[in-house]
A and B are shown apart, each in its own frame.
Chain A
């Protein structure tokens, strides 16, 4: 892989975000609204429980992690969709740019945009609602890394689906995080779920993250052994998503989909 083409992808995304408040705003506006809404809900629940249970870390912390995951996924797919919306595939892929360079560019873009969202969430949740997330220190890192990897995997998968099914399919990929959220136990223990849902949850890395977070908040040490399958699954998902994208890309080359990609090119 060469660095300059990757830098080119990053520069393009930077130009787009810098030149358009419409693109810059969603990086922190929606996550800020989420934190504010859930912050007041948790404050209200704390008042109702009269100090018997602190909802702030379990609910607001979960919202923060979930939003981080969705921002990562959307960071990759939105960067990809920029090329769909501007019908740039022919210009882009008739160059020396390789698929790994392109995907790496999308992933680094996503790291940048989601880091801004994460920072806004952390500042708001800490300053306004007293979420002491930083007290978890380095214990937080493995959870963020697993969510990061799975977000990347889902973003690449979403991009591959749009490439394969056509631009109109972007409406299928936005709800992907919502589709998996009931299974991964963002706000409740996995034991709450029926058995068939628990079975599916075992294949989803975020389930291990949220289960582990609840364990830490309950005062237990970092459940490294329990988190390990989640980390392994997340890495496997990144590899599978990358493989799927390459397969779809080759299909698009073979069928002419890439050359004639337009709003109605579903084949």
Chain B
């Protein structure tokens, strides 16, 4: 594998962790939204299910992993910033 191919793979991997994760966060709350269950429920208007407000991840006893709030990930402007920087790195690698 050439250095350029390695660099491209690295950028691809960074994108998967840094920006695709936002899509996963969005997809999670979308999948839990009862308004999106029309394929699963015949009469959606009559179906009663709570709408999930937010999801937090908190460390349990003995864990030192930092807490995460899915809303912060979704609401962050960082997604666009990171995507832009990664795109420019890719352009530099290609040039």
Partners in one complex: no
